[in-house]
Structure formats: structure tokens, C-alpha cells
Structure 1
């Protein structure tokens, strides 16, 4: 069937990152590797924080949420792309497309809120250290995370309900590797002014307000750091923010470029490359950024690795029939 003549909204056609058959094995291998690295790396971060009682602090609580979000975010788009390449099909059903779009909106948006709460956490830790225990109490941290997830689900639900009211009569070819809102609106023959207005209002607010909070937090942090008399003290204070600042720069740099400054992605494939950066590359790099620049995470990961070796050794002893005499000297801390 000629795909150009398709007009049914029962399914959409995802063109992926390339339409050239010769590129498909390379794309499949690359994105499968990236997906496995992302899931493994973020799960190790979650495991390290969960197993080390010294990391049960607000900063690492939000980092755990961020890692889980990264796993969910990349799992929303990449597995479907890999399935389409493997089966040599490019279709996605209407329901699957809206479901994928819903969760894409949720996880990308909640990343914004989590990065903002982490910036606020660093602001309180550096600028108001004596009030840190009160200002970042466990109850408040849970409340901030709950509100973040609740608001993002509400925003996504509004977008999907309005999108579901549209009629699609301009074909069903989506020139991307996942269902993206602006591309779906281009296929609609219904009036999309309300949809576009809500993208501007809700999407702009969900992106820009957390970004403004992050900027305000870092302005206060930098001002406080410059007041520290010793150079070593200033560097130590700023180093606690280095990982977070790196992730913020990567995430917002690409997402603002795609949705708010699209002119710089008008070269061939530029929009796809920029989208891949914040939907695939950033979730993969986050665990490396936080583990390589964070001594506490390094120590916790080393502890997890050491305990894994002990458990493996214990299993070998059990296989040799010496289970009763074997005990694992694992610290409960």
C-alpha cells in the first residue's frame, strides 16, 4: 500500500531516524547499546543510594527519582523504535501513539521539576545550612516529589484529551522515531489553535518556571560562594553543584533549542539529533556525570560491587555443599 495515501487514524507511520535500509542495523545496535547502558547505569545509582544509609538524604532522594524517571523516559520511546527496526515495520497504533506521547510528556516534564527541586536543595544546603534539616525535611521532600508527579500527569492528560478530539486527514506519516506533539498536530485537519495555545502556556510554564527557579537558586549560590574567604572553601562548595549544573545545561540546552528556538535545528535532521540528545543521550549520561564527580556515589557503588562479589562467592560455597559454615561479612551500614 502506498503510505502517502493512508488517511486512517487507526495507526501512524514512524519514519524513524533514517529511511535508508542500510542504516537500520547500525541504528538498532547503537540504540540497543545506549538503552542497556542507560537502564543499567541508572539502576546502579538507585541501588547504591538505596543500600547506603549515608545517602538517605534529600539530594539523593531526588537523584533516585531522577534516575527512575530517566529509565522510564527512554523506555517510552526507544523499545518501540527497536521493535519497528527488528520487525521491519514502521507502524504504531493510534492508542499506542497517544500512550507513548502521554508518558513522554510526563517524564520529560517531571525531569524539569526534579532538576528544580535539586537546585533548591543545593541552595538551602549552601546558603542556609543551619535551616537545612527543617527546610528539607523528609515530609517536604516527599510532598515536592508528589506534587511534581501529580502536576506532570495533569498536564499530559490535558494535552492527550484535547489531541484525542482532533480529526486526522492529512496522512499519518510521522517523520520521527516517536510520536511527538507538534508533528501530530501537523497531520490534523481540525482546528488546533487551542492545542497550540496550551502547548505554549502549559508547556512553556512547565519548562520555563523550573528553569527560572534553577537560575535564581544558582544566582544565590554563586553570590554565597563568592563570600567564602578561602579559595578551597569556594571550590568545595561549588563542586557539590557541578554534577547537577552539568545535567541542567545538557537538558535545557537541547529541549529549549527544539521547542522554543527551532530555527537552529532546521538543517537536515537537526531536530531529530536535538531530540535524541534530551530523550536518549542525557538519560544515559546522567549516571556517569553523578558517579564520576561524586565521591559518595563512587563509595556506594564500590560497596555494592564488593557485596555482589561476596554474594557470588557465597553461592559458589553453597554449590560445594558448605552453606552452613559460610557467612557473608557484609556491613549493614
Structure 2
């Protein structure tokens, strides 16, 4: 194995990504991943087009959904094609720079997803707890500013964490026991002192992985308290129904992660569980929003009816 050295920092020319080489029935799993990829890209592209083309959906909540679909497409394209390359071309090598790029885009789009779910929770919190002030607080300009801050801030944070990898030496091994350039795996591999890096990783992971579900939970505690003040069950159900799609998306995002941490015991099981926890939410999100949102369903139905309607030609005598 050849290395290029800069002062005391040793960077490998490439990493060897083991992926699912030892997993049983891995071929079927790769085929399943391809199906997930196809559904994710098509489903999220449809959601993006519908929201972009119809003015009736140019509202704060659908700006959030648009942003989530955009992040889903980005994450799916950062993860699955690289995995399929391992399977189709039997190429488990990835260059050092390509690995850093893969790590950057995966981390970036996952963090955008998590904070989009936080913004959606805030949107539902204001809509139910402060309905009379909703239009004054939450509007398109507000959402544009919020998502601009999220994208810029995430870019800065993920750039910082990725650049931290360049200060580490990989002189012992260049084997990544994962199916992509996993930041946590790489942080365990250096042969120089990485204690400061690991502390920074702990702070960043707490900010990106622990804070979002905690904020979402607090939002729903406030929503629950507001629902208790509504006197009729019909009113409570109507208010809660507006949160249904967001709740499903939150569960589809966090339940696979939690189940992988709790249930998976072997290395292969953890890799498969980790793969599903990252790839299933982008596939499920557009399905959830299409099936549970009346506006999107109605627009799709109208589009299909317009395409299937026969063309009438008036012939004047």
C-alpha cells in the first residue's frame, strides 16, 4: 500500500470499503437498494415538481416539504450509487479525496434532513398553539431565511468536520468497515492522537443528532398541551390530523436508527441496519406526503385526469 506523506500527517492514496462483502444473500440486498434508489429519486422528484409548479402549494409548510425532498434526493445520490458501484463493478476502492467528498455530502444532507424536521415541528407548533399569530410569525419570507441559515450553517459545520479528517494520520490501516466513508469509522482509525477530534465529534453529534429529536419532542409536548385545551374531540382530531404526516416522517427517520442501535448485534447486522436507516426515510417521505396530504393528492389526480382526457376537436360546418 502506497502513501503520500505531508510533514507528520500520512494520508492513504485510497481507502478499501468492505461494505457487505461477508453478508449472506448480499446480492438480493443490493437489488433491494436499487429499488429503494429508484423509488426515492422518482418520488421526491415528483414532490419537487408538484410544489414548484403549483402556486397553491407555495406556502410555509410546503416550502419545508420541498426542502426535505431536495435533501432526500441529495442523500440518496450520495449514498446508494457509490454502494452500487461496489456491487456492479466489484470495486471496493475509493480515493482519499473522493472519500472526503462522499463523507461531506452524506453528512450535509442528513443534517439538512434533521433540521428540516425541526422546522416542520415548529410550523405545526405555531399553527396549533398560536393559530391567530401563525401568518404573522410563519410566512414564506421567514422560511426562506430559516432554510438559508440552515444550508449555510450546515455547509460551514460539515466543512469543518470533514477538514478535521485531513489532520489525522492513517498509517495502520486503510480499511473502512462500512458501506460508505463513515465519519465515525474514520475517526477510530488514525494512528496519531485524535482525542481533540473525538471531543469535537461528540459536541457536533450532540448538536446535530441529539438536539433535533429533543426539540421535536418539546414541540409535541406543547402541541399536546394545546390539544388538551380544545373542548371537543372533533376539534382535537382536526388539529392533530395536520401533524399526522410530519409524525410519520419523524418516526420513519428515527425508528430505524433507534432499532439499529438497540437490536443489531453483529457487524453485518449493524451495517445492514445502518444502510436501511439512511436509505428508507428518503423513499418513505414522498409516499407519506402524497398519501396523507389532500392538496398533493388532488393535484396529482387532476394531472392524471388531464393527461387521460380525450382531445376534443370542434369541426365547424
- The TM-score normalised by the length of structure 1 is 0.85
Q: What are the equivalent positions in structure 2 for 1:56-135 lying under 5 Å apart?
A: 56-135=58-137
Does the Cα contact within 8 Å between 2:16 and 2:174 map onto a contact in 1? yes
Match of 2:193 in 1: 191
After superposition, the C-alpha distances for 1:219-261 in whole angstroms (9 at most, x for unaligned) are: 1111111221221211111111111112212323344566xxx
Match of 2:16 in 1: 13
Match of 2:48 in 1: 46
**Secondary structure of the residue that 1:105 maps to in structure 2?**
helix
**Secondary structure of the residue that 1:167 maps to in structure 2?**
coil
Does the Cα contact within 8 Å between 1:14 and 1:177 map onto a contact in 2? yes
Q: CA, structure 1 residues 58+114, in 2 after alignment: closer, same or farther (shift >3 Å)?
A: same
Q: Does 1:297 align with 2:302?
A: no
- The TM-score normalised by the length of structure 2 is 0.89
**Secondary structure of the residue that 2:94 maps to in structure 1?**
strand
| Stretch deviating more after TM superposition (11-20 or 177-186) | 11-20
Does the Cα contact within 8 Å between 1:10 and 1:94 map onto a contact in 2? yes
Does the Cα contact within 8 Å between 1:44 and 1:301 map onto a contact in 2? no
After TM superposition, give the deviation of residue 36 of structure 1 in Å. 0.6
Q: How many residues align?
A: 307
Match of 1:286 in 2: 285
After TM superposition, give the deviation of residue 18 of structure 1 in Å. 3.5
Gap regions ≥5 residues in structure 1:
2-6, 327-333
After superposition, the C-alpha distances for 1:93-112 in whole angstroms (9 at most, x for unaligned) are: 11111000011111111111
Runs of 4+ in 1 over 6 A off after TM superposition: none
Q: What are the equivalent positions in structure 2 for 1:297-316 lying under 5 Å apart?
A: 297-309=296-308
Q: CA, structure 1 residues 37+230, in 2 after alignment: closer, same or farther (shift >3 Å)?
A: same
In 1, the alpha carbon distance for the partners of 2:197 and 2:264 equals 23
Does the Cα contact within 8 Å between 2:22 and 2:268 map onto a contact in 1? no
| Stretch deviating more after TM superposition (263-272 or 280-289) | 263-272
